[in-house]
């Protein structure tokens, strides 16, 4: 059985429940008319973001109130809808509150406590940085972990699904005091956001991000976790400074890579074994990864690195098994053709083998 689609969270039943709840708070609101208008013949084909946008637009239009008064209705309403369903309320603010930023920022802070305002706040950051950055700094000191997370997540330069923040891709330094405030946050929810924020920075300003991580590393176990997670992209790129920070030194290792078969069909597993032999005197840290050059539709190989293990190794020989399932994902489609498997030790490619992926029919 396939997993339910996220867009199905914004289904007819949700629209009906939202309309009924709104009518209870605002008796002049026509719940039946709201549902009929939202769920037209084109609604089933809409994807998640389009559904959220449509529901939010029609909700505001049919409330037929000035923005500030509409927010007075939506604030108590939002507490009844969490998660992705709660995206509707910040979307109203994103669309219709941009000319009233003080009201909008306050209500986004309310909405984020039941869902998240990380997407809706971004147009305000772009247009009103002088208002928004101080507000983010205040949220970073809040007792509420949802607000603290919004301070980091809402200002990520490259938030997935979200509008990019080009000014902070070029110069993220105005955001660093916020991240400093949150680097030892007691909430894993917040710390994970800080790590992802730093990972965003590493894609545009790797040297600045590395300098910050070098200052942070060793201060606190939670901060060390942030640094490790933040540097995952640079570690996979085999960046020397990132590897050195965690003690992964180049090592003279003899490696063998053995495939169970040099042909694998779509839907099957590529099974492989790695044998590593190292000098007896080496007892350092080992970071083992494998990478695959995937065949693509265009003919240009797509290189993807996968984490295998990290450990202190004292034995002179190590034998490990692994497999990779060739099954299409929403984020990765496989194409038949020649592939190559690489073995990477402490950032060094030590051996590789080619194999053929065959179609399943």
Q: How confident is the model at residue 278 (pLDDT cuts 50, 70, 90)?
A: confident
Short-list 238, 215, 211, 242, CA closest to 229: 242
- Per-residue pLDDT, averaged over 14-20, amounts to 98
Q: Parse the chain into domains and list their residue ranges.
A: 1-120, 254-358
Q: How many CB atoms lie within 10 A of CB 221?
A: 9
Residue 250 confidence (pLDDT) = 85
| Tokens linked to 254 | 């003899």
Residues 360/325, Cβ–Cβ less than 8 Å = no
- Produce one character per residue of 20-55: b if its CB has 16 or more CB atoms within 10 Å, e if not: ebbeeebeebebeebbebbbeeebeebebeebbbbb
Residues 190/146, Cβ–Cβ less than 8 Å = no
Query: Does 281 score more than 90 pLDDT?
Result: no
Query: Does 2 score more than 60 pLDDT?
Result: no
Distance CA(108)–CA(32), nearest Å, equals 28
Half-sphere exposure of 9 (CA within 13 A, CB side): 15
Distance CA(88)–CA(274), nearest Å, equals 50
Residue 53 confidence (pLDDT) = 98
With residue 226 as reference, give the H or E element that holds it.
Answer: helix 221-230
- Per-residue pLDDT, averaged over 252-262, amounts to 94
Query: Does 235 score more than 80 pLDDT?
Result: yes
Q: Which long-range contacts (CB under 8 A, 24 or more apart) does 1-6 make?
A: 5/48, 6/48, 6/84
Is CATH 3.40.109.10 the classification given to domain 254-358? Answer: no
- pLDDT of 110-137, one tens digit each? 999 999 999 999 999 999 999 999 999 9
Instruction: Output phi, psi for 228, to 5 deg.
Output: -65, -45
Residue 56 confidence (pLDDT) = 98
- Produce one character per residue of 259-294: b if its CB has 16 or more CB atoms within 10 Å, e if not: eeeeebeeebebebebebebeeeeeeebbbbbbbbb
In SS3 terms, 36-67 reads as HHHCCCCHHHCCHHHHHHHHHHHHHHHHCCCH
Residue 360 confidence (pLDDT) = 74
Q: How confident is the model at residue 279 (pLDDT cuts 50, 70, 90)?
A: confident
Q: How confident is the model at residue 9 (pLDDT cuts 50, 70, 90)?
A: very high
Residues 125/132, Cβ–Cβ less than 8 Å = yes
Q: How many CB atoms lie within 10 A of CB 9?
A: 16
- pLDDT of 18-40, one tens digit each? 999 999 999 999 999 999 999 99
Residue 202 confidence (pLDDT) = 96
Short-list 96, 25, 108, CA closest to 67: 96
Q: What is the pTM of this model?
A: 0.88
Short-list 123, 199, 104, 209, CA closest to 165: 123
Residues 172/205, Cβ–Cβ less than 8 Å = yes
């Amino acid at each position: 059985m396939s997993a339910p689609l996220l867009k199905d969270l914004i289904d007819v039943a949700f629209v009906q429940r939202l309309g009924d709840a709104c009518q209870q708070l605002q008796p002049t609101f026509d719940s039946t008319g709201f549902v009929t208008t939202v769920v037209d013949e084109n609604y089933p084909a809409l994807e998640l973001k389009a559904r959220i946008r449509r529901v939010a637009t029609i909700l505001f239009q049919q409330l037929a109130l000035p923005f500030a008064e509409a927010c007075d209705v939506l604030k108590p309403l939002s507490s009844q809808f969490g998660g992705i369903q709660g995206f509707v309320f910040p979307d109203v603010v994103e669309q219709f509150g941009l000319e009233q930023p003080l009201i909008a920022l306050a209500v986004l802070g309310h909405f984020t406590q039941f869902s998240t305002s990380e997407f809706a706040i971004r147009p305000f950051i772009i247009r009103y940085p002088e208002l928004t950055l101080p507000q983010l700094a205040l949220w970073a000191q809040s007792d509420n972990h949802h607000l603290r997370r919004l301070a980091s997540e809402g200002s990520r330069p490259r938030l997935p699904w979200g509008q990019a923040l080009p000014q902070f891709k070029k110069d993220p330094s105005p955001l660093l005091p916020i991240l400093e405030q949150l680097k030892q946050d007691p909430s894993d929810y917040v710390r994970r956001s800080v790590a992802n924020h730093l990972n965003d920075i590493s894609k545009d300003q790797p040297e600045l991000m590395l300098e910050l991580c070098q200052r942070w590393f060793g201060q606190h176990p939670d901060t060390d976790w942030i640094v490790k997670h933040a540097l995952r992209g640079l570690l996979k790129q085999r960046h020397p400074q990132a590897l050195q920070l965690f003690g992964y030194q180049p090592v003279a290792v003899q490696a063998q890579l053995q495939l169970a078969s040099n042909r694998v069909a779509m839907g099957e597993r590529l099974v492989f074994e790695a044998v590593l032999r190292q000098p007896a005197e080496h007892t350092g840290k080992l970071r083992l990864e494998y990478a695959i050059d995937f065949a693509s539709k265009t003919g240009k190989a797509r290189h993807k690195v996968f984490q295998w293990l990290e450990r202190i190794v004292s034995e002179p020989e190590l034998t490990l098994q692994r497999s990779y399932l060739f099954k299409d994902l929403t984020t990765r489609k496989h194409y038949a053709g020649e592939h190559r498997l690489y073995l990477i030790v402490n950032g060094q490619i030590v051996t590789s083998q080619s194999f053929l992926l065959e179609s399943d029919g």
